[in-house]
Amino acid sequence: MASRPDDGLTEAAARTVHNQRVLWQAGWMRHGWPVEVGGFGGSPILRAALAEEVTARGLVYETMFAVVEVLLPTTIAAAPALAGEFVEPFLAGKERWCQGFSEPDAGSDLASLRCRAVDDGDSWVVTGQKIWTSYAKFASRILLLARTGTPESRHRGITAMLVDMDSPGVTVRPLAGMNGEDEFAEVFFDEVRVPKTRLIGEVNGGWGLAMDMLRNERGGIFWAFSVTLFEELGRLSEAGGLAAHDDELLGHAFVSAAGLRTRSWTTQHRMDAGNITTPETSIDKILMATSEQELFDAARFALDGEVELGDDPAAARWRSLYLYSRAASIYGGTAEIQRNIVADQFLGLRGAK
């Protein structure tokens, strides 16, 4: 999802942390979270409502709520004691987590991941590499998927754990993106000791948790994101120089954004009613990637040269957002993986012979 390039990642991260703290202290951020982690309880829909309004106003970068929604509900359900200690500081903006799933040789094929955690009494010793870790340089903890089974154990031998980023042996190497930001990073683990109290779920039970988290990543978070598409379309329509011949481009992008939003609305209410299955949210992710790219395609053509040639801050901002939007069909599971999931698990084509 688009971050705000006009004021830089570091500034955005600082502003995000500040505003998140304010939201927590004022109580807004507590609605919809269980009391065990400092929340007020209530439906998770309350969280979606807050995320939307905060995101629409640009008070935090968009992925702030996304990371919270992807990582925390599963952690709270699978590791109540750990959650009691660490979730509140995250929600309250005192610390940030990142998500350690992908590896250089385990992208779309996540079950082939190799980062190893070796049993050593009361700790694991972790050695390996993660990649595409968003905002790793601002994170104090990483939710790691590690190989605890045999190398061939695939999804049966993966364990989830919460690792401190300041542990000896952890190295973060940011990856510069073509949009000029280094949101993504590689994270290296060199015999990093992780206490067994940091286990999330069961040993070798990490795959199911990862699927829960991916479901959230592909569904629950797009409600807040959808409003940023409307905001960007509003900005585009006010950019000046647009004419009647741009109407079709604008309207097409608007309808696509509305498709994501209405789908996300049904997803929110179905999650609230507790009847949603994992593969369904891949539909939301496909709509998200498509609508974001169509919007910035529209911007590129309607702005008539600004994205390619412009050097003022507004042009640089559109360029950065346009370039970032190219990644939307890759991160969080590629468009192809999502279509496989929809076809195999939702349309029943898995095992077709």
Contact (CB, 8 A) for 285 and 331:
no
CB of residue 268 vs another protein: minimum separation in angstroms? Answer: 6
Question: One of 217, 280, 292, 306 is an active-site residue; which one?
Answer: 217
Q: Are 126 and 39 in contact (CB under 8 A)?
A: no
246 binds another protein (CB under 8 A): yes
| 3-state class (DSSP) for residue 170 | strand
* DSSP tag of 149: S
Q: Which residues between 285 and 344 bind another protein (CB under 8 A)?
A: 286-287, 336, 338-340, 342-344
Q: Which of 3, 47, 31, 322 is closest to 138 using CA atoms?
A: 3
8 belongs to the binding site for another protein (CB under 8 A) = no
Q: Which of 70, 87, 106, 233 binds another protein (CB under 8 A)?
A: 233
Nearer to another protein, 129 or 338 (CB): 338
> How many other CB atoms are there within 10 angstroms of residue 209's CB atom?
22
Nearer to another protein, 315 or 343 (CB): 343
Residue 234 in contact with another protein, rule: CB under 8 A? yes
Instruction: Quote the least distance from Cβ 191 to another protein, whole Å.
Output: 40
Residue 68 Cβ vs another protein, minimum distance, rounded to whole Å: 17
CA distance linking residue 343 with residue 82, whole number of Å = 37
Residue among 132 and 254 whose Cβ is closer to another protein: 254
Using CB under 8 A, pick the residue from 31, 155, 252, 326 that binds another protein.
252
Considering only 8, 80, 251, 305, the residue that binds another protein (CB under 8 A) is: 251
DSSP-assigned states of every residue in 57-108: TTSS-THHHHHHHHHHHHHHHH-HHHHHHHHHHHHTTS--EEEE--BTTBSS
Task: Determine how β-strand 170-175 pairs with β-strand 184-195.
Answer: antiparallel
> Does 244 sit near another protein (CB under 8 A)?
yes
Q: How many Å apart are CA 40 and CA 27, to the nearest integer?
A: 8
| Binding residues for another protein restricted to 43-102, rule: CB under 8 A | 45, 48-49, 52
Element (H, E) at 43: none
Burial of 312 (0-12, 13-18, 19+ CB in 10 A): exposed
> Residue 124: which H helix or E strand, with range?
strand 123-130
Asked if 247 is part of the footprint of another protein (rule: CB under 8 A), the reply reads yes
Verify whether residue 292 is a known catalytic residue. Answer: no
Query: Residue 196 or residue 235: which is nearer to another protein going by CB?
Result: 235
Stretch that binds another protein, among 10-18, 131-139, 149-157, 239-247 (CB under 8 A): 239-247
Cα angle value 271/275/279 (rounded, 5°): 85
Query: What are the catalytic residues?
Result: 217
What residues line the site for another protein (CB under 8 A)?
45, 48-49, 52, 223, 227, 230, 233-234, 237-238, 242, 244, 246-252, 254-255, 258-263, 265-266, 268-270, 273, 275, 283, 286-287, 336, 338-340, 342-344, 346-349, 352-353
